[in-house]
């Protein structure tokens, strides 16, 4: 006989394939066998059809194509013998899936087999249907499966229940047909039928709320009774696992009770006793028992409140933490993290065990235990837990130090009650794991130190001692360098000694040595070196005796390959040599940094609490996008990016590093003369600072110029300026966006009225702005923009954007519509709220505005930039009309410059660029 003929047995083919030494040999064998099977299929060989299908299934499992044998499955299913049907159904489940159209041909055969007198053939049909049935087959065969749920043989009922799960998942509308039969299965004594019945009921509850309510009312007691029977049942060898009767049924019953009890107090009351019984009687020294206990705890935590049961459940989890199995401890920690929101006091009793888990050798358990311990920290235990964690930090693994350090820092910030304790703990962390500390942590420490004026001497001495022993910790060195630069004289003079301190003697040269070592250390990065140079510049003024030595150290970096260090060295050396008279002003002590403002800038950290100087605590929120008030200048960039408000007296060398005169008293000859009384900012929309008042004649000049521009044609910059209506008598108009209001007492009760501004008007489009201020909130201005389309064409896809400087906060509400009707038949309105966080403080500064759709940036005396885009659809051609409205303060007056960009993108960009340059030149 040909070894590859259709009569070859399956085992011979498997033996031939396994004997192949290469993939090519295997492909050759499979190819020959597939050819023989195809020939047998073509000859309609009935004798070896089941054998050929068995070979095809093996070939399919090897990954070779076998689609040509799909019809053989249907022929075998239609045969009368059980062996042929078994191979046919097995091939059907393996070679086909619900997406195959040929599967519809087997529906009739399945229906016949579901009604067969042989229960084994019925079981084959149920098994196949439960694995591959489609939605159409489910609808056709659901009545037969529903009938088989009451079949006499338990194996058929079990398979029918599993098949029903597939049917209700494919066609949820059929779920109501299976509710009553499924409820009947819950009274079964056969464990297999009861197990599958519980799974069917669980899936029904997930699909249908009506089914869930039905089971709660009708079946809760029967499920509780079934669980009680299983718990108290005598030894049964067929269901015993490690001395526990059928733990799988235990778990399934507990899960179903969890669904029934969730959100229902009556159902929860029915199951309280049996849950307590399971929790106390189940052995915990075996894995099967631990699985049941875990499910019991899950159920207790999910049903309605019962404090006694929950304490019992949390105690079970506490015992799990002492188990030697890592998996059991891990799931216990996970469950305790959920339980802490329900009963934190009960979880607190296991704090010592959880702390031991932080020291576990398994990385996953350590991390999860640390997260749980963080949630357990409160005002009463923060000091003891922080002490334990810092002690463990000394011996913890390197890969764990980062997570542990972050949690300790967050705990200290959140729960510190006094500044000295906060500083002490942070110095311990920096000394042990300073290289693992994030930048915002040591930034926050500097902020707290600057606010603790009575602890400056204590802090700088503590840092000096710490850096002697832990000089390799980068963050510690940075904080020490900053403090020595600020409070170096307190270190040398032993100022502000506390009773708990031991006296130390530090000379000026010793203080400079610390900075020099940090500057020249091989591990110091650019930030540390730059801070060292700043500290040396400050010490050159505070320690005149060491000034020459400091100069030599600074000069050594003039040839640095790092441009930042080279520039700082050259500039600082120039200050030391040439500017002795102003050096003391330049390097004076940093002003106190505002904690609330800095906390508003911090993002990505947990809420923290830091004590203030008067003993009260402030809450640090979790990452506010922008602070509400700008802090003073911070050379470390620890505060807002905004520049400081100009001082009212004297010259401030830090105010204008670029040499720009920001003095409000400056004026130009032959132009506007400053008046001594009153302030007229002519609708300064930004209302920043107090520019000199303008004469009424100049105001009329500006308006007349605008009217002249209105009559000109063909000029893109000829759009009218805002039409400004001033109050009678020439009284100054109040600053809209929170500048210095000249006469706040004269405001009306409901807030002053402001004139509307026609920002742009042409033959096709009109834009009008209306202003208002909410009563009692002078720093906020509400702007309503109204857009009217005068052209006969409808504008679609309306978009309006606005930009403001950093110290202003802008809230842009959605537009009333995205379509602008033609011929002024309607309008689009859009509201904006602008809040000036520097109300009455911030002076007008130069800033850069970037045009939308334009590559260039134009530097202007800027306020608000508002940019809008409209898509105009006409004759099937898409045309883009871009316009940008800039509200500018120019020599005390407000101008509105409209920049129109044409239909073509490239030409529009160039056009906009040209017009911007023209406006700047003008």
Residues in the chain: 922
pLDDT exceeds cutoff 70 at 885:
no
Query: pLDDT for 185-235, tens place per residue?
Result: 999 999 999 999 999 999 999 999 999 999 999 999 999 999 999 998 888
Q: Which of 237-241, 443-447, 677-681, 809-813 has the highest mean pLDDT?
A: 443-447
Rounded to an integer, the average pLDDT of 467-490 is: 92
Q: SS3 of 736, please?
A: coil
Spatial neighbors of 576 by CB under 8 A, at least 6 apart, are 537, 540, 547, 550, 551, 554, 583
Q: Is residue 435 part of a domain?
A: no
pLDDT exceeds cutoff 50 at 845:
no
Query: pLDDT for 212-224, tens place per residue?
Result: 999 999 999 999 9
The more confident residue out of 842 and 276 is 276
pLDDT value at residue 840: 67
Rounded to an integer, the average pLDDT of 165-183 is: 93
Rounded to an integer, the average pLDDT of 798-805 is: 79
Q: What is the DSSP letter of 624?
A: -
pLDDT exceeds cutoff 70 at 892:
no
Q: Which of 60-69, 625-634, 720-729 has the highest mean pLDDT?
A: 60-69
**According to DSSP H, which parts of 416-455 are helical?**
419-433, 439-451
Q: What is the DSSP letter of 4?
A: T
Instruction: Quote the radius of gyration of the chain (alpha carbons, Å).
Output: 41
pLDDT exceeds cutoff 90 at 479:
yes
pLDDT value at residue 876: 31
pLDDT exceeds cutoff 50 at 751:
no
Q: Which of 39-53, 55-69, 106-120, 767-781 has the lowest average pLDDT?
A: 39-53
Query: pLDDT for 704-747, tens place per residue?
Result: 333 343 333 333 333 333 333 333 334 333 344 344 334 444 33
Taking residue 147's Cβ as centre, other Cβ atoms within 10 Å add up to 13
Query: pLDDT for 298-320, tens place per residue?
Result: 999 999 878 889 999 999 999 99
Q: How far apart are CA 421 and CA 470, in angstroms?
A: 20
Q: How far apart are CA 795 and CA 230, in angstroms?
A: 73
Q: How far apart are CA 61 and CA 798, in angstroms?
A: 58
The angle subtended at Cα 103 by Cα 99 and Cα 107, nearest 5°, is 135
pLDDT value at residue 21: 92
pLDDT exceeds cutoff 80 at 392:
yes
244 vs 229, 231, 421, 849, 889, CA distance in Å? 13, 9, 54, 75, 84
Q: Is residue 772 part of a domain?
A: yes
Which of 806, 837, 811, 844 lies closest to 687, judged by CA?
A: 844
Q: How far apart are CA 117 and CA 133, in angstroms?
A: 22
Rounded to an integer, the average pLDDT of 284-298 is: 92
What DSSP string describes 76-102? HHHSSSHHHHHHHHHHHHHH--TT-GG
pLDDT value at residue 65: 86
Query: pLDDT for 322-342, tens place per residue?
Result: 998 999 999 999 999 999 988
Rounded to an integer, the average pLDDT of 508-527 is: 91
Q: Give the CB-side neighbour count of residue 258, counting CA atoms within 13 A.
A: 17
pLDDT exceeds cutoff 50 at 690:
no
Is residue 453 packed enough to be buried (19+ CB in 10 Å), middle (13-18) or exposed (0-12)?
A: exposed
The more confident residue out of 243 and 607 is 243
pLDDT value at residue 299: 94
Is residue 314 packed enough to be buried (19+ CB in 10 Å), middle (13-18) or exposed (0-12)?
A: buried
Give the chain's domain count: 1
pLDDT value at residue 424: 94
Domain extent at residue 686: 666-922
Number of H helices, E strands in the chain: 35, 15
Q: How far apart are CA 576 and CA 918, in angstroms?
A: 45
Q: Quick one: which H or E segment has residue 153? A: none
Q: How far apart are CA 398 and CA 407, in angstroms?
A: 15
Q: Is residue 147 part of a domain?
A: no
Q: Is residue 322 part of a domain?
A: no
Q: SS3 of 899, please?
A: strand
**Which of the four pLDDT bands, split at 50, 70 and 90, describes residue 842?**
low
pLDDT value at residue 708: 40
pLDDT exceeds cutoff 90 at 917:
no
- The backbone torsions φ and ψ at residue 673, rounded to the nearest 5 degrees and listed phi first, read -100, 135
pLDDT exceeds cutoff 90 at 511:
yes
Q: Is residue 466 part of a domain?
A: no
pLDDT exceeds cutoff 60 at 102:
yes
Q: What is the pTM of this model?
A: 0.58
319 vs 154, 308, 368, CA distance in Å? 40, 17, 17
Q: What is the CATH classification number for the domain harbouring 823? A: 2.60.40.1230
**Which of the four pLDDT bands, split at 50, 70 and 90, describes residue 753?**
low
pLDDT exceeds cutoff 60 at 672:
no
Q: Is residue 738 part of a domain?
A: yes
- CB of 709 within 8 A of CB of 719? yes
Q: Which of 46-50, 246-250, 905-909 has the highest mean pLDDT?
A: 246-250
Q: Is residue 918 part of a domain?
A: yes
Rounded to an integer, the average pLDDT of 396-404 is: 89
Q: Is residue 272 part of a domain?
A: no
The more confident residue out of 845 and 596 is 596
Rounded to an integer, the average pLDDT of 856-865 is: 33
The angle subtended at Cα 533 by Cα 530 and Cα 537, nearest 5°, is 145
- CB of 173 within 8 A of CB of 141? no
pLDDT exceeds cutoff 70 at 606:
no
**According to DSSP H, which parts of 690-756 are helical?**
696-711
pLDDT above 90 as % of the chain:
38
pLDDT exceeds cutoff 90 at 835:
no
Q: Which of 72-76, 455-459, 578-582, 658-662 has the lowest average pLDDT?
A: 658-662
Q: Which of 44-53, 304-313, 610-619, 670-679 has the highest mean pLDDT?
A: 304-313
pLDDT value at residue 496: 86
pLDDT value at residue 846: 34
Pull the structure tokens for residue 174. Answer: 């059929």
Spatial neighbors of 565 by CB under 8 A, at least 6 apart, are 526, 529, 530, 533, 557
Rounded to an integer, the average pLDDT of 259-282 is: 92
Which of 246, 272, 244, 247 lies closest to 257, judged by CA?
A: 272
160 vs 39, 61, 129, 169, CA distance in Å? 39, 28, 10, 14
pLDDT exceeds cutoff 80 at 826:
yes
pLDDT value at residue 56: 87
**Which of the four pLDDT bands, split at 50, 70 and 90, describes residue 775?**
confident
């Amino acid at each position: 006989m040909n070894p590859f003929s259709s009569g070859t047995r399956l085992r011979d083919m498997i033996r031939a394939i396994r004997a192949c030494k290469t993939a090519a040999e295997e492909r050759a064998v499979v190819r020959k066998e597939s050819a023989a099977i195809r020939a047998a299929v073509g000859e309609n060989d009935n004798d070896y059809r089941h054998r050929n299908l068995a070979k095809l299934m093996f070939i399919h499992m090897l990954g070779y194509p076998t689609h040509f044998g799909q019809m053989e499955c249907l022929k075998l299913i239609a045969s009368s013998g059980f062996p042929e049907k078994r191979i046919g159904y097995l091939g059907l489940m393996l070679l086909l899936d619900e997406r195959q159209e040929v599967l519809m041909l087997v529906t009739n055969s399945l229906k016949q087999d579901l009604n067969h007198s042989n229960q084994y053939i019925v079981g084959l049909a149920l098994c196949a249907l439960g694995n591959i049935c489609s939605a159409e087959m489910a609808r056709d065969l659901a009545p037969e499966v529903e009938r088989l749920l009451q079949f006499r043989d338990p194996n058929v009922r079990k398979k029918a229940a599993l098949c029903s799960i597939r049917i209700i998942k494919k066609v949820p509308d059929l779920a109501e047909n299976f509710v009553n039969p499924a409820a009947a299965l819950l009274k079964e004594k056969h464990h297999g039928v009861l197990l599958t019945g519980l799974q069917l009921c669980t899936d029904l509850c997930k699909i249908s709320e009506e089914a869930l309510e039905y089971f709660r009312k009708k079946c809760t007691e029967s499920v509780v009774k079934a669980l009680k029977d299983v718990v108290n049942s005598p030894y049964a060898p067929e269901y015993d696992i490690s001395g526990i009767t059928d733990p799988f049924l235990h778990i399934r019953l507990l899960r179903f009770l969890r669904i029934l009890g969730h959100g229902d107090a009556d159902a929860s009351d029915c199951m309280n006793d049996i849950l307590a019984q399971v929790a106390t009687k189940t052995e915990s020294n075996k894995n099967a028992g631990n699985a049941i206990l875990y499910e019991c705890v899950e159920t207790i935590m999910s049903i309605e409140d019962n404090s006694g049961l929950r304490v019992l459940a949390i105690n079970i989890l506490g015992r799990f933490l002492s188990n030697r199995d890592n998996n059991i401890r891990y799931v216990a920690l996970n469950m305790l993290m959920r339980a802490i929101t329900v009963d934190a006091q009960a979880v607190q009793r296991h704090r010592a065990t959880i702390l031991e888990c932080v020291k576990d050798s398994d990385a996953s358990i350590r991390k999860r235990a640390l997260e749980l311990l963080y949630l357990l920290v409160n005002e009463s235990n923060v000091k003891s837990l922080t002490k334990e964690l810092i002690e463990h930090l000394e011996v913890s693994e390197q890969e764990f130090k980062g997570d542990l350090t972050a949690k300790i820092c967050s705990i200290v910030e959140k729960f510190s009650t006094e500044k000295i304790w906060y500083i002490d703990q942070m110095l311990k962390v920096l000394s042990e794991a300073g290289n693992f500390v994030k930048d915002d942590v040591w930034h926050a420490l500097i902020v707290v130190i600057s606010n603790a004026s009575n602890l400056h001497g204590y802090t700088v001495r503590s840092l000096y001692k710490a850096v002697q022993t832990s000089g390799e910790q980068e963050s510690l060195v940075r904080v020490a360098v900053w403090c020595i630069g600020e409070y170096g004289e307190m270190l040398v003079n032993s100022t502000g000694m506390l009773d708990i301190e031991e006296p130390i003697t530090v000379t000026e040269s010793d203080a400079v040595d610390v900075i020099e070592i940090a500057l020249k250390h091989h591990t110091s990065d650019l930030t540390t070196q730059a801070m060292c140079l700043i500290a040396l510049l400050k010490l050159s003024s505070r320690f005149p005796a060491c000034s020459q030595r400091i100069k030599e150290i600074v000069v050594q970096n003039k040839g640095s390959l790092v441009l930042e260090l080279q520039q700082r060295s050259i500039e600082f050396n120039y200050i030391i040599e040439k500017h002795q008279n102003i050096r003391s002003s330049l390097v004076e002590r940093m002003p106190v940094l505002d904690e609330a403002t800095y906390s508003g800038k911090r993002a990505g950290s947990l809420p923290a609490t830091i004590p203030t100087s008067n003993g009260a605590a402030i809450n640090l929120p979790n990452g506010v996008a922008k602070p509400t008030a700008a802090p003073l200048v911070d050379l470390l960039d620890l505060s807002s990016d905004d520049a400081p408000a100009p001082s009212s007296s004297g010259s401030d060398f830090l105010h204008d590093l670029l040499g720009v005169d920001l003095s409000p008293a400056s004026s130009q000859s032959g132009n506007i003369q400053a008046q001594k009384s009153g302030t007229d900012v002519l609708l300064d929309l930004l209302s920043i600072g107090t520019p000199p008042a303008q004469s009424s004649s100049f105001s009329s000049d500006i308006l007349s110029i605008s009217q002249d521009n209105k009559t000109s044609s063909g000029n893109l910059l000829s759009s009218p300026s805002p039409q400004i209506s001033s109050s009678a008598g020439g009284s100054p108009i109040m600053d809209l966006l929170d500048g210095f209001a000249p006469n706040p007492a004269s405001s009306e009760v409901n807030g002053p009225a402001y004139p509307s501004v026609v920002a742009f008007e042409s033959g096709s489009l009109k834009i009008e702005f209306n202003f208002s201020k909410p009563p009692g909130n002078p720093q906020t201005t509400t702007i309503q923009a109204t857009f009217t389309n005068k052209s006969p064409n409808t504008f679609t896809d309306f978009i309006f954007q606005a930009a403001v400087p950093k110290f202003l906060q802008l809230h842009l509400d959605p537009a009333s519509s995205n379509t602008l009707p033609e011929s002024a038949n309607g309008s689009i309105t859009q509201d904006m709220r602008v809040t000036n966080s520097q109300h009455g403080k911030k002076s007008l500064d130069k800033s850069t505005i970037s045009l939308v759709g334009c590559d260039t940036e134009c530097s202007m005396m800027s306020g608000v930039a508002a940019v809008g885009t409209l898509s105009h659809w006409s004759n099937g051609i898409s045309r883009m009309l871009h316009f940008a409205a800039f509200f500018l303060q120019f020599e005390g007056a407000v101008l509105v410059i409209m920049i129109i960009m044409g239909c073509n993108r490239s030409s529009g960009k160039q056009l906009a660029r040209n017009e911007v340059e023209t406006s700047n030149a003008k």
